[in-house]
Structure formats: structure tokens, C-alpha cells
């Protein structure tokens, strides 16, 4: 736990995580809690300030999200954003109403006086609005400090009680001076110290793991991806070879991945690694299965069975194993929390779940307070190879969810070859590290083609490449035409069994990044 933090209370905003990220960019720790969090939980993070997020509701809705009134009397600076402003006004004696003219998009804000929130900023600023309600009357003690053409209230404050609020979103890039506004709150009003650095996090985490584990032993389920590799490296730094990493070949890995991951983790990182080739038993379970959810569950359940067997074997050989290391990230924690308030659970937990109760392992999640980009920076400070840190996300069910329909050895071989070409050409073009994910999908669609003088009847391959910040939303990458053409030509010429290549231009939403 850091010595100080900024707590963000989430009222269902799509930008709640972004607020926390903007605070962390200033080297100040920030945590997102549901608006239903108790005062005791808020205090447990030693906050120097509280931010009330936006949200889609109206304060007068029957099920409108709310928070404990005591947050306004803790003596801490509070910044309300959008719905946070309306909630602050409503709770403290003001009035809120549906705006005569809703504001969505860019707006010009006029700063009216010398508020500390707008210190050393222009008198007029372009901001990003997204609201349907507005504050009609200010609570006692508050004054208007900014307005727009369409909203009489753009920002309010009660400096005696350290209460501030803005109707726009300073956390988004569309608000040009948004970072400066947040910095004025973080440093000028909350007096936070920029002490949350990578090295500080590493030192604190290593020390914490040593205290927690003592002389005990731990195991880690490794995928070879960024998250589990960084988590394992941190814990290995703390307890050395008392950590055993288990890497399971589930039969649906990419080309040469089983060998490459072992080389990176064992030879380059020095981890104590146990590699288990269980591909035959996984593929036997998948035989004849076409439903995507059944595929996922079968692979997950079989992984648990394999991992359980290996954990017992390790315990018999080395002694009692008490701890399980997972590469859980902060978005996983937020999205998986059942009491998150009004925000919907977007996806289930990505890490090892459903472990048999008799294992009775206690969790170590050294990355649970970090976002993906922060994990990569931690990895660099740990001296980890870029080959591992720049690895694009890969789904737990592997190629099974990139083969639509039944997973067979023949189809796996086709997809491995095609995917290897996609990734190779993306890297050759210098685009791999700039793209969130890029991969091939094998479709259960056969089409007629012509190669030489012969007629072919073969599979269709789809190419997918997306930009994303955290995987929750994604935009299609406009790959250069020459790159796409080279990928298509190589796949059709080199992968016998595929004669047509298409490009997926769907964003998320409405689509998903993976096809299954």
C-alpha cells in the first residue's frame, strides 16, 4: 500500500479507469472503488483526495447511484466530475434539473475567477461535455467559477470545505487543458507527492512478497504473456527458486510457442520452470466440439486438472506449496468486483479460476494495482527482454477461439502457418509494438479458387488487427495496403488449404476482438 493516494469513486462512468490512469501519470497512486465503498475502505487507502466520477444516471432516478454523505466531511479535497458535480450539488442543498439543451462533444468554457482548479490556465478553454442534466441552483457556500454558452454551470467550488466540481471531463484528451486541471487538483489542492515510481513499486512489492511468503513455497501458472511473466519475475526476485512456474502446452498454442516460451522464461529470465506437454489430452477433449463457450470451459477445466496434478507432484518433491501467483491486472479487479455499483461486469476474470478446494492455495497477485502499460514499464525496470514485454495479448483458450467450428489437428496446422505469416509481416513492417492485437482466424467457409491451371476448394482466413488501450473497446487498424497484400499473397501461396484471405474491419463494440 502506498503512503498516499487519490481515490476515484465510480458511479458507472466509462471513464472511471481513465481518471485513475491520468492521476498515475503524475506518479501519484490512484485506486477506483465502487461508489458504494464504505468510508472505512476509502480511508484504508490513505487518500489525500477523492474524485467522484461521471455516470449515465440522473440524480433523481429511482435507482440513482449514490455515496456515503460523510465523504464531504472527511476534511479531504473532493473533485466531482459531470455526474459527480450533480451529485455534490444535490446532496449539499442545491438543485439539479434536466438541461434545456443537452451538451455532448466539444464546448468552450469561460473561467470566471481565480479558482485554484484553473490556476495559470487560459480564461477560455476547449473541453469535452457529455451530460443531460445541469445544476440549477448551487448549494450554500458554493460559487460559480466557470460557464459555457449552453450551461450556466461548468465548474463550481467551495474552497473553505475543499469541494470542487466540473461539468466537463478533464480526464479525456478532448479537453485540451484537462491534464493541467487535474494536476492543479492533485498537487495544488490535495498536495500529493509524486512518489509512485516504477522502482518504488518494485521495492515495495518484493519486500511485501518476502514478508507474506516467509520461508514458504509458491507456484505460478505461466502463459508466456506479459502479465504472468512480470508477476513471476517479481516473485522470483523475492523468493528465488522457492517459486516454481508451470507452463502447460494445451495443444492450441501458436507455431513453436511451447519451445520459445521455455527459452525466454528459463534461459533469459532464469525462472524455475516446469514445462508440461498436455496437448494430446486437451485435443481429445475438444474433439467434435463446436460451441465457443464449451471450448473455453473444456480448456479451462482441463487446465485446472493438469495444474492440480503438477502442484501435487511439486509438493511431494519439494515440500508443502502454500501460495499461487497470478498475473491479475487492475482492470480485471475492477471488472470482476461484484459490488462495483452501477457499472456492468464486462468480462469474467481472466486468470486461473475454479481451482480445486483441496489445493487450498492462497493468492499472490503482485500486479493487481497496475494497468497493462504500467506492467510493461515495471518489466523494463526489471530488465526483462522486449520480446516478452511487447508480446501482444493472447487468449487463454488460444487458437481454439480463432478456429470457428471444431478444433482439429489439420485446422490447427493451417491456422498456425497463417498466423505466423501475419505476425511476421506485421513485425517486418515495424507495426507489431504499435498494435494491440494482430492475428489470423480460420473460418469454416470453403470457397472456389484457381491456382495455376487447377481449381481449388479450400478454407477462408480472416485477418484481425486492432488498436486498444485496455481491451474493453477497440478500433480497427488501417493496415497499409502493401502489408495486407503481402500477407494475403503469402498465406495463399504458402499455406496449402487456404485460398482466400479477408480483412475484419469491425470495431468493439459492436464486435469483439476475438471471433469466439
Catalytic residue numbers, as ranges: 82, 169, 171
Residue 230 · residue 219 · CB < 8 Å: no
Taking alpha carbons only, the member of 212, 224, 314 closest to residue 262 is: 224
Residue 368 · residue 329 · CB < 8 Å: yes
Residue 284 · residue 444 · CB < 8 Å: no
Residue 325 · residue 219 · CB < 8 Å: yes
CA distances from 344 to 11, 38, 102, 334, 337 (A): 11, 20, 24, 10, 10
Q: Where are the beta strands (DSSP E) in 25-154?
A: 30-34, 47-52, 78-81, 95-111, 124-137, 143-148
Residue 148 · residue 107 · CB < 8 Å: yes
- Take residue 269 and report the three cell numbers written for it: 529470465
Query: CA-CA distance, 106 to 374, in Å (whole number)?
Result: 30
Residue ranges of the alpha helices (H) in 139-225? 178-183, 198-213
Residue 249 · residue 364 · CB < 8 Å: no
Query: CA-CA distance, 17 to 331, in Å (whole number)?
Result: 8
Query: CA-CA distance, 256 to 259, in Å (whole number)?
Result: 6
Phi, psi of 366 (to 5 degrees): -70, -15
Taking alpha carbons only, the member of 364, 403, 140 closest to residue 254 is: 403
Neighbours of 453 (CB within 10 A): 5
Residue ranges of the alpha helices (H) in 360-480? 372-381, 386-389, 409-428
Looking from the CA of 405 toward its CB, the CA atoms found within 13 Å total: 14
Query: CA-CA distance, 217 to 94, in Å (whole number)?
Result: 57
Taking alpha carbons only, the member of 315, 269, 278, 313 closest to residue 299 is: 278
SS3 300: helix
Q: Measure the CA dihedral 111/116/119/124, to 10°.
A: -10
Taking alpha carbons only, the member of 51, 55, 109 closest to residue 82 is: 55
Amino acid at each position: 500500500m502506498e503512503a498516499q493516494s487519490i481515490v476515484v469513486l465510480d458511479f458507472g462512468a466509462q471513464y472511471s479507469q481513465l481518471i485513475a490512469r491520468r492521476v498515475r501519470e503524475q506518479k501519484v497512486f490512484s485506486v477506483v472503488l465502487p461508489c458504494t465503498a464504505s468510508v472505512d475502505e476509502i480511508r484504508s487507502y490513505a487518500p489525500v483526495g477523492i474524485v467522484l466520477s461521471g455516470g449515465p444516471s440522473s440524480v433523481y432516478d429511482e435507482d440513482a447511484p449514490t455515496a456515503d454523505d460523510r465523504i464531504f466531511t472527511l476534511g479531504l479535497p473532493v473533485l466531482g466530475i459531470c455526474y459527480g458535480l450533480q451529485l455534490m450539488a444535490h446532496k449539499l442543498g442545491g438543485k439539479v434539473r434536466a438541461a434545456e439543451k443537452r451538451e455532448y462533444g466539444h464546448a468552450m468554457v469561460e473561467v470566471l475567477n481565480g479558482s485554484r482548479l484553473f490556476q495559470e490556465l487560459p480564461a477560455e478553454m476547449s473541453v469535452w461535455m457529455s451530460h443531460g442534466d445541469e445544476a440549477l441552483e448551487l448549494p450554500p457556500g458554493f460559487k460559480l467559477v466557470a460557464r459555457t454558452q449552453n450551461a450556466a454551470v461548468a465548474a463550481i467550488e467551495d474552497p473553505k470545505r475543499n469541494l470542487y466540481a466540473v461539468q466537463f471531463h478533464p480526464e479525456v484528451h478532448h479537453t485540451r487543458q484537462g491534464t493541467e486541471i487535474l494536476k492543479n487538483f492533485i498537487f495544488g489542492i490535495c498536495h500529493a507527492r509524486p512518489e509512485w515510481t516504477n522502482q518504488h513499486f518494485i521495492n515495495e512489492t518484493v519486500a511485501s512478497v518476502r514478508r507474506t511468503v516467509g520461508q514458504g513455497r509458491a507456484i505460478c501458472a505461466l502463459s508466456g504473456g506479459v502479465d504472468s511473466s512480470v508477476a513471476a519475475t517479481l516473485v522470483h526476485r523475492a523468493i528465488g527458486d522457492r517459486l516454481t512456474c508451470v507452463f502447460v502446452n494445451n495443444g492450441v498454442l501458436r507455431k513453436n510457442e511451447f519451445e520459445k516460451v521455455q527459452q525466454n522464461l528459463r534461459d533469459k529470465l532464469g525462472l524455475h520452470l516446469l514445462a508440461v506437454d498436455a496437448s494430446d489430452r486437451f485435443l481429445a477433449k475438444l474433439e467434435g466440439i463446436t460451441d465457443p463457450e464449451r471450448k473455453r470451459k473444456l480448456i479451462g477445466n482441463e487446465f485446472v486438472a493438469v495444474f492440480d496434478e503438477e502442484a501435487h507432484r511439486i509438493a511431494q518433491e519439494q515440500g508443502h506449496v502454500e501460495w499461487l501467483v497470478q498475473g491479475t491486472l487492475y482492470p480485471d479487479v475492477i471488472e470482476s468486483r461484484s459490488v462495483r455499483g452501477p457499472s456492468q461486469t464486462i468480462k469474467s476474470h481472466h486468470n486461473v479460476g475454479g481451482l480445486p478446494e483441496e489445493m487450498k492455495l492462497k493468492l499472490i497477485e503482485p500486479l493487481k494495482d497496475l494497468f497493462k502499460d504500467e506492467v510493461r514499464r515495471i518489466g523494463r525496470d526489471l530488465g526483462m527482454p522486449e520480446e516478452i514485454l511487447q508480446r501482444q495479448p493472447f487468449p487463454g483458450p488460444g487458437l481454439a477461439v480463432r478456429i470457428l467450428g471444431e478444433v482439429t489437428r489439420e485446422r490447427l496446422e493451417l491456422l498456425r502457418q497463417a498466423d505466423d505469416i501475419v505476425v511476421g509481416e506485421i513485425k517486418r513492417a515495424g507495426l507489431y509494438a504499435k498494435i494491440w492485437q494482430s492475428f489470423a482466424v480460420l473460418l469454416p467457409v470453403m470457397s472456389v479458387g484457381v491456382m495455376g491451371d487447377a481449381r481449388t476448394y479450400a478454407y477462408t482466413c480472416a485477418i484481425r488487427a486492432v488498436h486498444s488501450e485496455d481491451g474493453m473497446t477497440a478500433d480497427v487498424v488501417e493496415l497499409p495496403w502493401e502489408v495486407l497484400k503481402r500477407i494475403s499473397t503469402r498465406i495463399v501461396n504458402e499455406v496449402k488449404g487456404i485460398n482466400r484471405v479477408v480483412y475484419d474491419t469491425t470495431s468493439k463494440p459492436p464486435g469483439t476482438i476475438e471471433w469466439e
